[in-house]
Amino acid sequence: MKLHLPVDHVSDTAYLVALLRSYESERPDAKFRDPFAALLAEPKTAVLESKLSWKESGTWLMTARTHLLDRHIERLARQGSVQAVVNLAAGLDTRAYRLSLPENLAWIEADFPELLDYKKARLSHQLPKCSLQNVGIDLGDDEERHQFFARLAQRQGKVLVLTEGLLPYLPEESVITLAAELRNLPSASYWLMDVATPALIRSFHDQMPNSEPSQGVAFKFGPAEGPAYFERLGWRIEAFDSFVDHSECLERPVPSVLRGSPGALNLSGIALLSKRSS
């Protein structure tokens, strides 16, 4: 896939999704409220708004994505199905501060150290709802990632691994490696992810008027078959909701410019995976 987002570094994408969450949060009829999103996005809001005109075209997707993920996480944590959430590429996500979670839930955020330090500083007066830990790491560095997963392997209890907004920026071989590593991590019982098909990624790219097609951060992974891609990597689909269907339910309809290829868009959404028995 030769499409790019017009930002300088992949960690800038964390500011972009925080900005999109702030748009929904500001609405009187908001489907979720992230009270920290605007504050966290603020240093890059002006530059992102000058490069991207996604307020109309991107908010539906982030609203559906956030709403679906929030519901899965609250349900699994509150019914005691998981004792820890490992948020890989946590970025400027604030669920540990804003969701209704058991106090004894362990919430482990992994992302580049500078980004997590920035978030910690901005939220220094806030109290998380659960037991929050930050792990500054380059997830693309095999050694760092193996050490991190080795520590996770020591944990008691079941872990929900969340990879929101990470997979599209990884090369396919890294996605395959990650799927195998998580499969081999005994505590990782569930994997919750957003799946973006090439049709979805292309439709977003086509709405970036100021973007150079080959400059910025590349989108590298988008399985045409949607979540079924992960079945051959040893994972089972426990639940799948398409962004298109869920956004209709939330009365955040898909913008008309994106309605051209609904079949392909329907395979983009939120998937909850568990391990297939081998």
Residue with the shortest CB distance to ligand SAM: 91
Polymer length in residues for the chain: 278
For residue 214, the one-letter residue type is: S
Alpha-carbon distance values, 90 to 18, 70, 86 (Å): 11, 14, 9
CB of 249 to ligand SAM, least distance (A): 21
CB nearer to ligand SAM: pick between 139 and 182? 139
Q: Considering only residues 48, 166, 178, 270, which one is a binding residue for ligand SAM as defined by CB under 6 A?
A: 166
Quick check: 112 binds ligand SAM (CB under 6 A)? yes
Quick check: 58 binds ligand SAM (CB under 6 A)? no
Cβ atoms of 127 and 101 within 8 Å: the answer is: no
Kind of pairing, strands 131-136 and 106-111?
Answer: parallel
Print the binding letters for residues 146-165 with ligand SAM: x by CB under 6 A, - otherwise: ------------------xx
Alpha-carbon distance values, 199 to 98, 110, 264 (Å): 32, 29, 6
Strand partners of residue 193: 163, 271
C-alpha 222/C-alpha 172 separation (Å) is 8
Query: Nearest-CA neighbor of 270 among 168, 200, 194?
Result: 194
Q: Which helix (H) or strand (E) holds 133?
A: strand 131-136
Quick check: 91 binds ligand SAM (CB under 6 A)? yes
CB of 13 to ligand SAM, least distance (A): 4
CB nearer to ligand SAM: pick between 60 and 277? 60
Quick check: 115 binds ligand SAM (CB under 6 A)? yes
C-beta atoms surrounding 211 within 10 Å: 18
Q: Considering only residues 93, 187, 195, 223, which one is a binding residue for ligand SAM as defined by CB under 6 A?
A: 93
CB nearer to ligand SAM: pick between 14 and 123? 14
C-alpha 65/C-alpha 214 separation (Å) is 27
Q: Considering only residues 41, 86, 89, 193, which one is a binding residue for ligand SAM as defined by CB under 6 A?
A: 89
Quick check: 231 binds ligand SAM (CB under 6 A)? no
CB of 114 to ligand SAM, least distance (A): 9
C-alpha 70/C-alpha 65 separation (Å) is 8
CB nearer to ligand SAM: pick between 161 and 258? 161
CB nearer to ligand SAM: pick between 34 and 185? 34
Residues near ligand SAM, by CB under 6 A: 10-11, 13-14, 17, 89-93, 111-112, 115, 137-140, 164-166, 169
